[in-house]
Structure 1
Amino acid sequence: MKIVDLQVIPFWVSRKLYRNGEILPETKVVQTVTKITTDEGAEGYYFGGEGPLEQDGMSAEQRAFLEERIKPLVLGQDPFDREKFWHWMWPANANMPENLLSVLDMALWDLQARAFGVPVHKLLGGCREKVKAYASTQHSMGTPEVYAQHALECKRKGYKAYKIHPYYYWNPVTGKPDLGRPSPIDQQIATCRLVREAVGDDMVLMYDPYGTYRTYEEALKV
């Protein structure tokens, strides 16, 4: 089996963006699907890829990079040789954006799973038939009280666990962006305390601060 084509297919979707504590008006954004095809008809797909959030489609420059720089390297190759492609491209990481290597890698995982007729998690050795769900927030969702109320609503809906994404370059006191202060430590601690008080001790809480603390001491304090 050999790779015969790699395409990036852009299309428009409607989306309401969430930014700095508020939902913005609905807009049209470009989303992308990457498709890899083989000479035996097997296909693999990946949705998104602009960055760490799959909800974002790739830019025109990123699409061109995949089709003009990465595609020629993999045409004619065995689609199951994913690690070989990483060894080829990772040393050139300064010129090969990591997120685009991930797009290629995950589309190839999807291709192999489809070719074998199994889910990707089976290829990875997974044996579970189901996993527990948990509720999760956006970052900079509002005041600590807003987080606490949201957590309580999620608990009432049956969630047993809740992940807090706190403030990210945003001041919960003024309700405005704050580019000079990545993480308002005191408000983040207040958020955690209020959420715990709201949901009680029988709900699992998780915390993802986006790695924005400036010092070890700040992280330790939280």
Structure 2
Amino acid sequence: MKISGHATHVVRVTYEETVRGTHVVLRLRTEEGIEGISYVSRIPADSLRLVVMMIESRVQQLIGQDPMDTEAIYQRLFRNASGLELRAASAIDVALWDIKGKALGQPVHKLLGGFRDRVPVSANWGMQFGATAEGLAKARELLRRGFAGLKFQVGALTPQDAVRQFRALRGEIGGDVKLIVDANQRWSFKQALVMGRAIAEYDPYWIEDPLVHWDYAGLRQVRESLPSQITCGEVFTDIQQHRRLMEERSCDIVMIDMDFGLTGFLKVAHLAEAHGLPVHNHLASEIMAHAIAAVPNGLILGFYPWAQPLFKEPARIEDGEYVLSGEPGLGLELDDDALKRFEVSV
């Protein structure tokens, strides 16, 4: 089997009128007619064309290569890559795994490790209104839809506001729902301690990015000082950053971005397992679900639906879990009508 070409689509998607995302969608093709798909996001508007060109140039270099050689191609694409180069490389890596799964008649999560075919899932959107009447109604709706947890942004809140909102949320949703706290790297060390202690009685599932990502010593001190679990790593783009995070015991949970691709995700996840740490995804939920399901230390899938309208079938959420399809590859089928409707020129 040989790589023969590709197509890209730049799309701007809206989901439920509140979630918006701009994505570059890749369709990677083989001479045998098998097509692998992927998408990458978080690209500045003035860089969209550049990312498309980066993907095009890298695919051209791979024409005639065997798409089954994911590790060999990974080493070629990711060596010395940085910034937006990683977005282009990760798009290709994911599409290769989709091709591999389709060629072998197996879902990607089985090829990556096959630990399970369903994973706990949290709703990582919809709580921007906090514990207002609208926010509490949204929380009830998301729980009715089957999510096991909710993510709540608290970086800009005062301790008093955070306590008030957490008290209202816990009163509404009960104590069993996983309530994830995201500080978005906005706190100082002292603020992290004050905030973490203030909300501790409301049992946050974890506190995400309490400090700037490069303050490994500060993160360790926060982790050792608070009862809540600390999650970090979403902005890391190099495995050595993750290695230092783990070696310095600066977090309880490792978050991995799709900038690593699925091949790189496995490397970080196995490294985390060796350090006794669970892993969690950052965005790209439909793709990263396969990675979280593949490894024994995959903790929970953070579901953010900004690409959902691109696919024919909606995500399957049941009883607090994301249920993976048994279909070959990623089990995702692009909706051509949606691609046309959302496509933008660059």
Q: TM-score scaled by structure 2?
A: 0.47
- Does residue 80 (structure 1) correspond to residue 71 (structure 2)? The answer is no
Give the residue type in structure 2 aligned to 1:117: G
CA contact (8 A) 2:121 2:149 kept: no
Match of 2:40 among 35, 49, 55: 49
- The match for 1:62 is 51
- The match for 1:166 is 153
| Aligned equivalents of 2:78, 2:157: Cα separation in 1 | 36
CA contact (8 A) 2:126 2:135 kept: no
- Does residue 97 (structure 1) correspond to residue 82 (structure 2)? The answer is no
SS in 2 for 1:59: helix
When Rg is computed on C-alpha atoms for both structures, the one with the higher figure is 1
Q: What's the C-alpha RMSD, in Å, of the aligned pairs?
A: 3.3
The equivalences for 1:65-214 within 5 A come to: 65-67=54-56, 69-94=57-82, 97-138=85-126, 141-145=128-132, 146-155=134-143, 157=144, 159=146, 161-167=148-154, 183-186=156-159, 187-201=161-175, 203-209=176-182, 211-214=184-187
Cα separation, partners in 2 of 1:210 and 1:61, compared to 1, 3 Å: farther
SS in 2 for 1:4: strand
| Aligned equivalents of 2:129, 2:167: Cα separation in 1 | 15
**In the TM superposition, what is the alpha-carbon distance from 1:122 to its structure 2 partner?**
1.4
Number of equivalent positions? 191
CA contact (8 A) 1:166 1:188 kept: no
CA contact (8 A) 1:185 1:218 kept: no
Cα separation, partners in 2 of 1:44 and 1:210, compared to 1, 3 Å: farther
Deviations 1:65-98 (A, max 9, x none): 211x312322222212222233223333236522
Cα separation, partners in 2 of 1:192 and 1:159, compared to 1, 3 Å: farther
| Aligned equivalents of 1:51, 1:12: Cα separation in 2 | 11
| Aligned equivalents of 1:129, 1:143: Cα separation in 2 | 32
Cα separation, partners in 2 of 1:189 and 1:120, compared to 1, 3 Å: farther
CA contact (8 A) 1:82 1:108 kept: yes
In structure 1, stretches of 5+ residues that fail to align are 168-181
| Aligned equivalents of 1:212, 1:142: Cα separation in 2 | 20
Give the residue type in structure 2 aligned to 1:115: A
CA contact (8 A) 2:150 2:180 kept: yes
Match of 1:35 among 6, 27, 37: 27
| Aligned equivalents of 2:27, 2:147: Cα separation in 1 | 37
| Aligned equivalents of 2:130, 2:118: Cα separation in 1 | 34
**In the TM superposition, what is the alpha-carbon distance from 1:107 to its structure 2 partner?**
0.6
| Aligned equivalents of 2:55, 2:60: Cα separation in 1 | 9
CA contact (8 A) 2:131 2:165 kept: yes
Give the residue type in structure 1 aligned to 2:40: G
SS in 2 for 1:163: strand
| Aligned equivalents of 2:76, 2:113: Cα separation in 1 | 26
| Aligned equivalents of 1:124, 1:189: Cα separation in 2 | 41
State percent identity of aligned pairs.
24
SS in 2 for 1:92: coil
| Aligned equivalents of 1:15, 1:164: Cα separation in 2 | 17
CA contact (8 A) 1:3 1:76 kept: yes
SS in 2 for 1:6: strand
Structure with the larger RCO, 1 or 2 (CA within 8 Å, 6+ apart): 2
Deviations 1:157-180 (A, max 9, x none): 26462212315xxxxxxxxxxxxx
